[in-house]
Structure 1
Amino acid sequence: MKAIIDRYRDSIIQIATPYSTGTGFLLPDRQLVVTNNHIVQDNREVVVRGDRLPKQLATVVYADPRYDLAFLRMQGPFEADTATVTLGDDEALSEGDVVVSIGHPFGLEFSITQGVISNTSREVDRIRYLQHDAALNPGNSGGPLINRDGEVIGVNTLGMEQGDNIGFSLPVRYLKRALADYQSAKPGVKVRCEACDNVVAEQEVENEQYCPHCGAKVYLPSLAEAYEPVGVAESIEELLVEIGQDVRLSRRGPNNWEIIEGSARINITYHEDTGLIMGDAYLCALPQTDIKPIYEFLLRENFETENLSFSIKEQDVVLSLLIFDRYLNLSTGMKLFRHLFERADYYDNVLVEKYGARWRQEE
């Protein structure tokens, strides 16, 4: 099983939009990323990132609200040696078969859960699902369900609220059908009509919103309205632009942004209920031995450093900035966040080179 999991490490993709986050997986031979439609709906493009794939924008080229599937196409081709993903046969499954789910729950990168098939044909809204007990949490959606032979036999779709590890995955037969329909339809961005089940391309859609076969309304990804932040979120994005960041690549769900500055990863979150804006720069990891000097250094810096504070989260050193929204303006925000970005990269180097901390990339 370990060899199978290692093979998929390059193929599992993190997906982020201004509204949600989730998982997808590469189909290198088709130059597509598969995910759930509910993750990417209302977006023309989304942010994707993989183990060997730098953060970039990908276009939503297919929306399938009936089966909750979507296909993404990235700007450049996949690496030539990206492992091929094999689509298996879900009809050969039996209750009790071992399966593995891979995804990014709660933003945790490349998390794996194992379970068994509980029911091979659980019907929900006239669609048959694979029911299993491999834990599915927010962020897992869109990832693959894999059998013992390393074949994708389902697409993780939903977990049951308050259920004890009860998950549902769309059988791979539906994905195979969607891929065939997508391939045979006319060029361009495409959508499956929920009323008549036909896949239609944007050039066929009448008046940009009606299916040419049955006249029902369809929603093309290419016609989704561009995201426009409002209120404090707009102010945060404005100051990020002013200090040279690409906010489209930074968005990670509602009121959440991620910035990579040098070797530091910086998460910015806005909590509307408290009015608190938090900038948390995740630096290096604590050394395994001789920890006292690094603690002493962090305590001294907390006393001497204005507006910033150090903390330890598990093994990670975190440098944080706190601002209440009522005190935020462009001039002050730019100064504070630029200071956080600069000091994060600086302290990361100091802690590794002088105090023996470990680079996060090595973890």
Structure 2
Amino acid sequence: MEAVIDSYKDIIVQIHTPGGSGSGFIVKDKGLIVTNRHVIAGSEEVVIRGENFKKTLAQVIYTDPLNDIAFLRVPDGFDESGHVTISNEKVNAGEKIIAIGHPLGLRFTATQGIVSKSERKFNNVDYIQVDAAINPGNSGGPLINERGEVVGVNTFIFRDGESLGFALPSVTLNDILREYDEGYQNQRASKCSSCTNLVTKDSLQDGYCPHCGNKFDLSEFDSTPYNPEGVSKTMESILTSIGKDVKLSRVGKSAWDIEEGSALIKITHNTQNRFIYCDAVLGSLPKQNIANLYDYMLKENYDLEALSFSVNQQNIVLGTIIYDADLNEESGKEILAELFQKADDYDNYMADTFGMELAENA
């Protein structure tokens, strides 16, 4: 099973929107990324990243509110070597399966289980019920069998239940892919939740489905641009002023990840305690030279003003904490610019001088 899981590292993508995160997988021969509609709801473009490529933007080209499926267009110039086979056979109860995705913000996680029930109907849609652990962030990732074939799309869980996960069957996914590929390839399309026909915005008749006359939800085509407010607006203004791409940085409404050279800076606004945490995990403690490394960090802390070193378990962190009421563009720009610059300098120096193992940010 290890080889099967490894074969998906080039295929699984992590998806970020201002509203949260989820998973998806690349179908290379279609030029599409499959995910759940609820993962990308309200977005025309989303941020994607994978094990072997850095964050980039991808366009939403298909939404299906009935089956909770969405397609993203694979970005131009995107090169990946993985290949996925989508099964056209139904699964059986007791069959072993693996759910792959990015749960709770963790990168590339696989959980194993069995098919508890091959068909479980909700809202007139058949799902596969599984006991594999599916958590928030897994949504949109593939459910695969022991042969490495996709047998479903992980879609939802029962929060009050234990080991109750549900995936849209690959048989249904193949039908959706076929219908889109035959008449709407590369067009922005959506499925009518009433008659299940595919429509484009131009084919609507005064906002109604041209096939059944059902009133169509225009938000499937016209998303509302995200406009940050309050602390998030100030933070994004600061990041923009120091040359950072806020669209690629967002990993939520109050969280940002920015790569600076070999360092990864994470900024999170905790709206409950009102503190903004700005941290760069530089690497992990070496087995040798620990005393010398500690001595170096203590001396640097004496000279640093807004920033400081700390050790969290094995992780060496350079960061700062700002009370949100004290955040302003002038001081924030100065503090963050220093954090980005010093994080990228410190990690290489500490790796070369003290044997610190650099953090994995890919």
> For the superposition of Structure 1 and Structure 2, which TM-score range results when normalised by the shorter chain?
over 0.9
CA distance in 2, matches of 1:119, 1:288: 49
Cα deviations by residue, 1:59-105 (Å, 9 ceiling, x for unpaired): 000001100100001331442x61210001341x2221111111111
Cα deviations by residue, 1:171-192 (Å, 9 ceiling, x for unpaired): 1112111111211334620001
Name 1:102's counterpart in structure 2. Answer: 100
| Structure 1 residue 222: Cα displacement | 4.1
Amino acid at match of 1:106: L
| Structure 1 residue 219: Cα displacement | 3.4
Gap change, CA 1:124 and 1:222, over 3 Å in 2: closer
CA distance in 1, matches of 2:209, 2:266: 42
CA distance in 1, matches of 2:245, 2:117: 45
Amino acid at match of 1:22: G
Cα deviations by residue, 1:10-36 (Å, 9 ceiling, x for unpaired): 000010001110100000111100000
Cα deviations by residue, 1:114-157 (Å, 9 ceiling, x for unpaired): 11111111122221111111101111110000000000000001
Gap change, CA 1:286 and 1:219, over 3 Å in 2: farther
Asked if 1 retains the 8 angstrom alpha-carbon contact of 2:88 and 2:174, the reply is: no
Gap change, CA 1:267 and 1:221, over 3 Å in 2: farther
| Structure 1 residue 305: Cα displacement | 1.7
Amino acid at match of 2:161: G
Amino acid at match of 2:64: D
Name 2:17's counterpart in structure 1. Answer: 17
Identity %: 41
| Structure 1 residue 313: Cα displacement | 3.2
Asked if 2 retains the 8 angstrom alpha-carbon contact of 1:57 and 1:74, the reply is: no
Matched residue of 2:259: which SS?
Answer: strand
Structural mapping, 1:104-143, within 5 Å: 104-143=102-141
Gap change, CA 1:211 and 1:220, over 3 Å in 2: farther
**245-254 or 212-221, which moves further after superposition?**
212-221
Structural mapping, 1:159-170, within 5 Å: 159-170=157-168
Name 2:294's counterpart in structure 1. Answer: 295
Name 1:258's counterpart in structure 2. Answer: 257
CA distance in 1, matches of 2:180, 2:88: 20
Name 1:205's counterpart in structure 2. Answer: 204
| 1:224 aligns to 2:223 (yes or no) | yes
Asked if 1 retains the 8 angstrom alpha-carbon contact of 2:15 and 2:48, the reply is: yes
Asked if 1 retains the 8 angstrom alpha-carbon contact of 2:34 and 2:71, the reply is: yes
Matched residue of 2:360: which SS?
Answer: helix
Name 1:237's counterpart in structure 2. Answer: 236
| Structure 1 residue 220: Cα displacement | 5.2
- CA RMSD across the alignment: 1.7
CA distance in 2, matches of 1:263, 1:221: 38
CA distance in 1, matches of 2:126, 2:77: 34
CA distance in 2, matches of 1:121, 1:354: 58
| Structure 1 residue 291: Cα displacement | 2.4
Amino acid at match of 1:31: G
Number of residue-to-residue matches in the alignment: 360
Name 1:35's counterpart in structure 2. Answer: 35
CA distance in 1, matches of 2:41, 2:361: 35
Asked if 2 retains the 8 angstrom alpha-carbon contact of 1:202 and 1:220, the reply is: no
| Structure 1 residue 288: Cα displacement | 3.3
CA distance in 2, matches of 1:319, 1:221: 42
| Structure 1 residue 7: Cα displacement | 0.8
Amino acid at match of 1:66: L
Structural mapping, 1:1-363, within 5 Å: 1-79=1-79, 82-91=81-90, 93-186=91-184, 188-207=187-206, 209-215=207-213, 216-219=215-218, 221-361=220-360
- When normalised by structure 2's length, the TM-score is 0.95
- When normalised by structure 1's length, the TM-score is 0.95
Gap change, CA 1:119 and 1:305, over 3 Å in 2: same
Asked if 2 retains the 8 angstrom alpha-carbon contact of 1:191 and 1:199, the reply is: yes
Q: Which sections of structure 1, spanning at least 5 residues, go unmatched?
A: none
CA distance in 1, matches of 2:289, 2:326: 40
CA distance in 2, matches of 1:341, 1:130: 46
Matched residue of 1:336: which SS?
Answer: helix
Cα deviations by residue, 1:256-302 (Å, 9 ceiling, x for unpaired): 11100111111111122222111111212222334222223223333
Asked if 2 retains the 8 angstrom alpha-carbon contact of 1:28 and 1:78, the reply is: no
